[in-house]
Amino acid sequence: MIDLHHDKEHLVAIMSHLQLYYFPLSGHSHKVLTLASMLDLSIETVTVDIKSGEHLSESFVHLNPAARIPVLVDGDTVITDSHAILFYLAQQYDPARVWYPTDLATQVEIQRWFALSAGELCTGPVALRGIRVLGKPGNEAHAMQQTLRLFSLLSTQLEQSPWLAGVTPTLADIALYSYTALIARLEPSLRDYPRVLDWLARFEQLPGYRALPAK
């Protein structure tokens, strides 16, 4: 049977010209590129060299007044913030509603993980990697404590379900995967969280999985 709705959406995706302003080492950008790859969307990347301060340029701040990458441009639509971009791509280009399912309970769970992704994930793994790998200033002990807190939360959830928002992978897993995997690679004590490591390994088997940044 031909699904006309699906075909129309697919056509929209093919005809769109998606551009992502990003930086190759950015985990927030990696989330977006992962979903695009899993949805089989073609997306042009535009590098913004945040190391040399390109994100502070007048033209970039015009695009995103918060001066942060990633930023998605889809025709006349500009979306900033990785979570808003994930939501947009899922609503616009995932007609089967795999990544942001229609049922309210799952949507609520995804929003809860988005909040943790903008909170504990940033004060923990993002900050810790920044200090250790990217030479950013910060309190390493605090970042480590926050990282352990997040791993504990992930582990408790994964005791109850194979994926963060239930029985199938969703945007919640995409939002949390990149920085969790990057920090697990760096910090040996995180190997004490086998459920989290198993979840990372499961995620890496999903069709369209995109390899992590080099460091």
Ligand X SMILES: N[C@@H](CCC(=O)N[C@@H](CS)C(=O)NCC(=O)O)C(=O)O
Cβ of residue 111: shortest distance to ligand X, in angstroms? 14
Q: Are 190 and 151 in contact (CB under 8 A)?
A: yes
Name the minimum Å distance from CB 168 to ligand X: 23
| Cβ 83 to ligand X shortest distance, Å | 6
Cα separation, 80 vs 74, whole angstroms:
11
**Which residue number, 68 or 210, has a Cβ lying nearer to ligand X?**
68
Q: How far is the CB of 204 from ligand X (least distance, A)?
A: 21
Pick 121 or 200: Cβ nearer ligand X: 121
CA-to-CA distance for 105 and 69, rounded, in angstroms? 30
The footprint of ligand X (CB under 6 A) covers 26, 28, 50, 55, 67-70, 81-83, 118
- Comparing CB distances to ligand X, the nearer of 131 and 162 is 131
Sequence letter at residue 39: L
Residue number, 72 or 197, with CB nearest to ligand X = 72
Angle between helices 171-186 and 140-160 (to 10 degrees): 130
When the beta carbons of 173 and 193 are compared against ligand X, the nearer one is 173
Least separation in angstroms between CB 198 and ligand X: 26
Cα-based angle 101, 16, 40 (whole degrees, multiple of 5):
50
Q: How near is the Cβ of 184 to ligand X at its closest, in Å? A: 18
Q: Under 8 Å CB-to-CB from 113, ≥6 apart: which residues? A: 164, 165, 171, 172, 175, 176
Tell me which residue of 49, 51, 52, 40 sits closest to 21, measured CA to CA. 49
For ligand X, give the closer residue by CB, 180 or 193.
Answer: 180
Q: How many CA atoms lie within 13 A of 125 on its CB side?
A: 27
What does residue 196 show for φ and ψ, rounded to 5 degrees? -70, -45
